[in-house]
A = this chain, B = another copy of it.
Amino acid sequence: MAPKDQAQGTENSGQLDFPRPLATVDVVIFAIRNEGLHVLLVQRPAGAGEPFPLSWALPGGFVDVAKDRDLEACAVRKLKEKTGVTSPYLEQLGSWGSAGRDPRGWSATHAYFALMPEEAGRTALAPDAQWFPVSAGRIKPKLAFDHGEILTAAVERLRNKVEYTSLPAYLMPAEFTLPDLQRVYEIVLDRPLEKSAFRTRILSADMIEPIAKMRRGPNRPAQLYRLKKGKEPVYFVRTFNPPE
């Protein structure tokens, strides 16, 4: 039986006994690990009837209408289950739904993407979870379902937004220097940025504040900063000018 259109019904379209798609939530979790962008994946179980057994996939799962108040709560729950942390940054990425993406039937997933510092992803990682480096917007193993496509979209979104926002701040540890932050921008954008322009932009954005400590090393010490409390991301009115 096909669903009635919500607004057509002269008949009783309050009837709800038609097939419903499966509803899932998946989270693309990013962190910087040894100078590279990484994403957290989980290995699919091997049980009978399981689609894509032992393939790597984005952390996620079915919406639980009893446990989850709303979609974001569901995403937070998945994140917490896999990493033990609630990410400092979580944004909706989009939804993917079609007849064929899951062999178990018509399904739609609500995808989120999360940013966290490396330190956060180390403590309580689930046993089936593992960090994978992202190179050229892709991952080495072929992912389950359409998760490769979702990951590509997430990387693209992240790259785009890094051009004109302060998102990389959420990938930083609690205390960091300006050169640290610039390195993270450069890792995500995969191109060098000009130091002077970078510093001017970041410092005039009023997003970080210096703390009374320096990072000392074999050379000139660097001022340490932390994120300001009001932690909404900052939007710049220009992008970093693209090369060529």
Q: Does A135 contact B (CB under 8 A)?
A: no
Name the interface residues of A1-43: CB closer than 8 Å to any CB of B: 2-16, 18-24, 42-43
Contact call B7/A59, Cβ cutoff below 8 A: yes
Q: Does A172 contact B (CB under 8 A)?
A: no
Interface size in chain A (residues, C-beta < 8 A): 64
Contact call B95/A95, Cβ cutoff below 8 A: yes
User: A241's contact among B21, B51, B57, B237, by CB below 8 Å, is which?
Assistant: B237
- Identify which of A102-110, A113-121, A179-187, A213-221 touches chain B: A102-110
Contacts of A51 in B (CB 8 A): 14
Complex Cα spacing A15 to B5, Å:
29
Using a CB–CB distance below 8 Å, which chain A residues touch chain B? Answer: 2-16, 18-24, 42-45, 47-51, 57, 59-71, 81, 92, 94-99, 104-106, 108, 110, 128, 237-239, 241-242
